[in-house]
Amino acid sequence: MNVLVTGGAGFIGSNLVRLLRRERPHWTVVNLDKLTYAGNAESLADLRDDKRHVFVRGDIADAELVASLLREHAIDAVFNLAAESHVDRSILGPGIFVETNVSGTQVMLDCARAEKVKRFVQISTDEVYGSLGATGRFTEASPLQPSSPYSASKAAADLLVLAYGHTYGMDVVVTRCSNNYGPYQFPEKLIPLMIANALEDKKLPVYGDGQQVRDWIHVEDHNRALLAALEEGRAGEVYNLGSDNEWPNLQIVGRLLEILGKGRDLIAHVQDRPGHDRRYAIDAAKAQRELGWSPRIAFADGLASTVDWYVKNRGWWERVRTGEYRTFYERNYGAR
């Protein structure tokens, strides 16, 4: 089996490539990544001498490149993870989100169809469903009501993928996962940002009252579900993925400070994110039932091991916090 992972130098993708090499050692994994600010070849350092991991730097919107990779490596299946992934960046500049997440996915679909790829797995997000009130959970039947340019671009991509299944009879599967955490996550997202800032004794910028709720899953549990979706999922289906683990942001930040032995005086409530979704919660019963999958990592353990990873891999996040990231940080937090 030969699989193409796009976005495999990012957070979830680099962990997925590693999981696939470990769990399916006879497969070849081709990894296509543009190495944007979020892509980091350093996250793949341990795979450098692995003959069954082929890294290619390039854009998913480059049809010629994608078609040649699918052909050259006789790709059987695609995991499409490449995306612009940060809500705050999508608020500052939505254009690239449409280019990569929507047009890029459409190019991937055209190429996969032309080259008769056997299965196309689209990695999506619970954010396509919009925001919940105090109760209830998203099911696959919940209406799509994305509220940020990021989630709108992901919803558009989902609909294209499902339409290609419907119209051309392509074998497609869409997964919609809740918020991930774990090693190699870019420190612009809540958990790694707060860990890195706390380790540097910088303020922890909590948006608004910090009572927004997210449903957290360890990246390893998400990636095991992606493998199960490829192997066990039904064509044309959507699978919600989550680990039944809801937390208000402020409580997570407090917990991280406790683990790191730092004081709560580092917390700074800053101006809220425009259009901020109040609550996400995922009902993953369908995935559990049909994919033979269930999450394994308890939040307390996952959070502790993630903090430990950031403590031990300070060089990794210190290097990515230079350059372009500083400019973004100033733009996003400077005016708050």
Q: Which of 20, 47, 61, 108 binds ligand NAD (CB under 6 A)?
A: 61
- In the window 143-162, what residues touch ligand NAD (CB under 6 A)? 154
- Decide if 318 is catalytic: no
Best CA proximity match to 17, nearest among 8, 4, 25, 26: 8
Q: How far is CA 147 from CA 30, 40, 67, 154, in A?
A: 33, 29, 33, 11
- Decide if 76 is catalytic: no
Q: Which helix (H) or strand (E) holds 264?
A: none
Report the amino acid identity of residue 122.
Q
What would you report as the CA-atom Rg of the chain, rounded to the nearest whole angstrom?
A: 19
- Decide if 168 is catalytic: no
Residue 154-183 contact track with ligand TYD, rule CB under 6 A, x = bound: -------------------------x----
3-state SS of the chain: helix, strand, coil percent to 5?
A: 45, 20, 35
Output the smallest distance, CB 227 to ligand TYD, in A. 23
Per the CB < 8 A criterion, the answer to whether 13 and 44 are in contact is no
Q: Which of 30, 87, 226, 228 binds ligand TYD (CB under 6 A)?
A: 87
By CB under 6 A, residue 189 contacts ligand TYD: yes
Residues contacting 230, CB < 8 A, separation 6+: 3, 77, 79, 119, 121, 173
- Active-site pick, 33, 59, 84, 127: 127
> What is the spatial distance between Cα 159 and Cα 162, in angstroms, rounded to a whole number?
5
Nearer of residues 36 and 212 to ligand TYD, judged by Cβ: 212
Q: Which of 206, 226, 227, 303 binds ligand TYD (CB under 6 A)?
A: 206
Residues that bind ligand TYD (CB under 6 A): 87, 127, 179, 189-190, 193, 205-207, 212, 214, 249, 273
Instruction: Catalogue the active-site residues.
Output: 126-127, 150
Residues that bind ligand NAD (CB under 6 A): 6-7, 9-13, 32-36, 38-39, 59-61, 81-85, 100, 104, 123, 125, 154, 177, 179-180, 186
